[in-house]
A and B are shown apart, each in its own frame.
Chain A
Amino acid sequence: MNFIKRFFSGMKQKDSVSEPVEVVKPVSEEKTQSTTSSTASAESDAAEKRFADAPPAPRVVLHAPVLNENIFPAESEDILIKAQPSQTGDQCMFTVNRVLMKGASWYFDSFESAAESSLAESLFSLDDVETVLVCESTVTVTRKDKTLIDWKELAKEVGAAIRGSIEEGSCLIAEKIISSIPSEDVIREGIQKVIDEEVNPGVAGHGGQINLLGVKGNSVTIQMGGGCQGCSAADLTLKQGIHTSFRKAVPQVGAIFDETDHTAGLNPYFS
């Protein structure tokens, strides 16, 4: 209450001395203006001087290898499988404690493509499995029903199918597939050609570019740069554009890894 009384009495006092204040005002304003203008000019000089110096050169961000520790207990004889759904929920990666396809990978896009590969055949026998990618000791599955993101139920079925195929002891990946995998040089040449002639001209309109970082077996690693880096549609470009172009041009290409750091870069997404 005292505070309110003081506030109102203060206002009244101000009203009662409004005229003298108005007379004095221009003088003080002038003073303030002159002081402000001199301060402003000094500040602008300082700013000019500061910006006259070259800005520090941006540092290059290096990516050291991440050291993965074994997720399975050592020397376990049981078939152990861990499921890891992706952040977007459209696919799930299953890691097995043994090698399924040594030094290579293969992408199965239909039941027909899985012929003679017992692992893929057993997975395609599940209703909701759309595609299967086998790479070393992992299996990545996409599902038909894109509205479901909870993988618990399907993951159990996939896990049982993988385990069943391994226990069966039959040929996990067809011999004809393994023998059809070309050399790294052939894969590199084909992928580089499709990047140069098809992919990069396409993404250049958005200020983007795709670089081929490496080929290991028939798995390729790419990096997105320019406007593609940090773009919210990068995942879509990768999965629906780049993957499709790569697989159409070089059908034997297996896993396609993206090593883009979408949070860094000097020119991410039309800066």
Chain B
Amino acid sequence: MPRVLTFKVNIETGKQGPNETVNFCFNGHKMPFENVTGSNESDAIFEGSFDVNSFAHSLTLVGPEKGKWNVEKVTVDYECEGEKPYVVKWGAVTLDETTEMNLWQDPPAPMFDV
């Protein structure tokens, strides 16, 4: 379980977007993103980041308060203590007021050529 220094998200919304504040949940704490650009309305791209400085148990993207949100693609750039920065990309998912989307993945195990 690494200490997350900061993470940055890029969310591509599909045909349906709620156009409301985008929140995430870090270890069960719900918060809005910082350094926000764009939005989560239909066919828009949202970007935001957060300086966490805490150990990650869970990280999720909170679904909209009302309606549906067609998330086409999410790219997350992580910077963790003692690890090389890494990027994880997720595919399509539809969120609503009862769901959230997992955004956490441990740093990848080292890989080498043989």
Contact = CB atoms under 8 A, between A and B. Distances in A.
Contact of B89 (A60, A61, A62, A66): A66
B102 interface: yes
B111 A84 contact: yes
Main secondary structure of the interface of B (DSSP, over half): strand
Contacts of A94: 114
B91 interface: yes
B93 interface: yes
Given A67-B89, A67-B91, A263-B58, A62 B112 contact: no
A81 interface: yes
Interface in A102-161: 152, 155-156, 158-160
A218 B95 CA distance: 32
A71 B111 contact: yes
Contact of A62 (B58, B88, B100, B110): B100
Interface in B81-96: 88-93, 95
A100 to B, nearest CB: 15
A63 interface: yes
Give the bracket for the number of chain A residues in contact with chain B. Answer: 20 to 34
Interface residues of B, number: 28
Contacts of A159: 114
A248 B14 CA distance: 46
By CB atoms of chain A within 10 A, which of B98, B100, B114 has the most? B114
Contacts of A24: none
A80 interface: yes
B103 to A, nearest CB: 9
Contact of A59 (B62, B71, B110, B113): B62
Interface of B: 57-58, 60, 62-63, 71, 73-74, 88-93, 95, 98-102, 104-105, 109-114
24 contacts: A59-B98, A59-B99, A60-B100, A61-B58, A61-B100, A64-B90, A64-B91, A65-B90, A65-B91, A66-B90, A67-B73, A67-B89, A69-B89, A80-B113, A81-B114, A83-B112, A84-B109, A84-B110, A85-B109, A85-B110, A86-B109, A94-B114, A160-B114, A264-B58
